[in-house]
Every structure is written in C-alpha cells, then in structure tokens.
Amino acid sequence: MAKTGTLDWMEATHGKLGLGDRLRLIGQGVRARAAKRKRLRNNIRFRHMEVDDILPPDSAIAREAMALCEAVSEPFLFNHCMRSWFWARLLDDGSGPLDEEVLFTGMMLHDLGLTERFGLRGQSMRCFTLPGARMAEELAAKHDWPGARARLMAQAITLHLNVEIESRHGREAELMRAGSGGDVAGLGLDVLHADQIEAVCHKHPRLHMKREIAPVLQAEADARPGCRIHFLINTFGFDGLIARAPMFSE
C-alpha cells in the first residue's frame, strides 16, 4: 500500500485520507511533540549556516520557478516560499546529501495550489499539493531532468503536508517539510537563534502571514473534507499552532 502523501498515494486516493492514513499521521504527531519537548528540555540550539551565506541556485529552472511563484502568488505567499527556503537551509545539519536545485525549485512551487491561477476549484483531487507537483514535473521535463530527479522534487511537494518524512524519500523532502512547516507555524525553529530568525524575516517580511494564511488553509479544509489540511486543523489544531507560533509576531 502506498504511503501517505507520496505520489503513488495521491494517484490511488486523490488525496483523501483513509483510516490507516489518519492513524499514521496521529503517530507522527505524537512523535513530533515528544521530540519538541525533548529539544526544549535540553535547550538544543545549533548554527550550521549564516543567513547571508544562503543563496538560491543560479540555474534556469530555479529562476523560472521563482518568477512563476512571484507572478501567481499573493505577496505574503511568495515571501513564505522564500523564507521556507531559508529555514530549510538553516535547519540542514548536513546529515545527508542534498540537491539544492531540487529543494529550491520545489519550494517555489510547493504552494501553487493555494493560488488563484492553480487552485483545484472543485476537482475530485483533494490535496492542494498536486498542482505544484504537476508543475514540478513539467518544468523538470522542460529542462531535461532525468525522471528520477523530477519525481524526487514532485514527491517532496506532495509529502510536505505530512508531520514526518521518512529519510528514504530524500533529504529534499525532509527539508521542504521542515522549512514550510517552520514558516507557517514555527515548527522546529526553536533550534535556531533569534538573530537568524530576525534576519530571514528582514529579508522577506511576513506581511501578516498568520492573518493571511489561516483563512486560505481553512477554505481548503472546508472545500475538501478528508484532505490532510482538514485533518491537521481539526485533529491537531494546526490553525491554533499558526496563531501561537512564538517566534513570529505576525
């Protein structure tokens, strides 16, 4: 059986959670909360990189994805994608190989499904990650990427709504979830230093991110019962986590 959030799972379920998927996400949430308590108890901090040393890949596909993201996204959403890239790089401990071009390009595309141009609008598919994954495959083909690399990027996008990512799906998927979740709800950013967080938000201001993103996600949950966002909001109180993220004032 395909694992929750993978491309195979999306094709088989159209993004609608079954009982096994729900139990799997609950288990992920329990482990994530335990890991956070342990980090806070041990006051774990690290500093692997400086913000000013982080630059987007200088490639045609990265530039095209960034331009597309900026063109179709509300300013707060584009800035979210940019900050998510910074969080992902700051959270990378170097424990595995990383394709920065896959990570950056995918991060620019991961929320296309929340835009007016690429929103699902009543389709049978129940997960807003699909438009971004499809665009990732389209751009990868345009730029002559091998199929396996294109799939790595597309699947990192569909997986980013999971609470945990198995290492077998690639460091790119792990960091896409870490960066995007860190920006939306502060998840995992407790390991960073205050000046790093301030520097990222100075480069790409939040533009009232908490206020702006909450109704967008709620609309997705209301329109597509059974999707992961619906489950995260109604089971884990994800909307409350967004509102209470302590490292962000807006």
Using the structure block, give the residue that is written with the tokens 């900026």: 70
pLDDT, tens digit, 9 for 90 and up, residues 125-164: 889 999 999 999 999 999 999 999 999 999 999 999 999 9
Residues of the chain falling short of pLDDT 50: none
Please give the pLDDT value at position 97.
92
SS3 90: helix
**Placement of tokens 């094709």 in the chain:** 11
Rounded Cα gap, residues 89 and 83, in angstroms: 10
Contact 171, 41 (CB under 8 A): no
Token readout for 43 is 């006051």
Rounded Cα gap, residues 184 and 220, in angstroms: 15
Angle between the N-to-C axes of helices 100-109 and 129-142, in degrees from 0 to 180, rounded to the nearest 10:
130
| Cα–Cα separations (whole angstroms), residue 49 to 43, 94, 183 | 19, 10, 18
The DSSP-derived string for 57-87 is: --SHHHHHHHHHHHHHS-HHHHHHHHHHHHH
For residues 197 and 156, give the distance between their C-alpha atoms in angstroms, rounded to a whole number: 24
pLDDT tens digit string along 168-183?
A: 999 999 999 999 999 9
Q: Delimit the domains of the chain by residue range.
A: 7-244
What is d(CA 71, CA 6) in angstroms, rounded to the nearest whole number? 28
For the record, the structure tokens of 95 come out as 């424990």
pLDDT at 1: 67
Residue 198: other Cβ atoms inside 10 A: 12
Rounded alpha-carbon distances, angstroms, from residue 173 to 165, 166, 243: 7, 9, 25
The residues near 121 (Cβ < 8 Å, ≥ 6 apart) are: none
Of 185, 58, 160, 172, the closest CA to residue 110 belongs to 160
Exposure of 172 in the CB half-sphere (CA atoms within 13 A): 21
Q: What is the pTM of this model?
A: 0.97
Q: Which of 128, 111, 131 is nearest to 223 (CA)?
A: 128
